[in-house]
């Protein structure tokens, strides 16, 4: 979507609103903030990804990276999809998979 459309008067067309929302979602502003110990936190968090299988999910628009955690013991039939923000780190969410 052209940048000028975002500056134009707001359209009443739901499809146009959907396109605007999709484009904003797909082009987030990257956060420049990182704590002084960010690299230490990333190293600690990546420990949890060691128990996961990395997979790529192909789509028409490209690929997404995903991690699959297989449960220990008997599987109870439940699955969880956990999604983080574009500028986050997957490993920061991985600890949830252990519970």
Residue 78 DSSP one-character state: -
Are 94 and 43 in contact by the 8 Å Cβ rule? The answer is: no
The predicted-structure confidence for 42-63, as pLDDT tens digits, reads as follows 888 888 788 788 899 898 888 8
The angle subtended at Cα 88 by Cα 46 and Cα 18, nearest 5°, is: 145
Residue 78 has pLDDT above 80, yes or no: no
Distance separating alpha carbons of residues 82 and 79, to the nearest angstrom: 10
pLDDT at 64: 83
The predicted-structure confidence for 4-27, as pLDDT tens digits, reads as follows 555 666 667 888 888 888 888 777
The alpha carbon torsion through 52, 53, 57, 63 (nearest 10 deg) reads 90
Distance separating alpha carbons of residues 31 and 37, to the nearest angstrom: 16
pLDDT at 73: 76
């Amino acid at each position: 979507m052209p940048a000028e459309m975002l500056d134009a008067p707001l359209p009443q067309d739901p499809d146009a609103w959907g396109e605007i929302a999709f484009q904003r979602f797909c082009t987030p502003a990257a956060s420049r903030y990182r704590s002084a110990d960010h690299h230490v936190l990333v190293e600690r968090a990546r420990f949890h990804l060691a128990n996961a299988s990395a997979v790529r999910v192909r789509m028409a628009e490209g690929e997404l990276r995903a991690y699959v955690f297989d449960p220990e013991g008997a599987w109870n039939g439940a699955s969880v999809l956990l999604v983080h923000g574009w500028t986050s780190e997957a490993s920061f969410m991985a600890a949830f998979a252990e519970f």
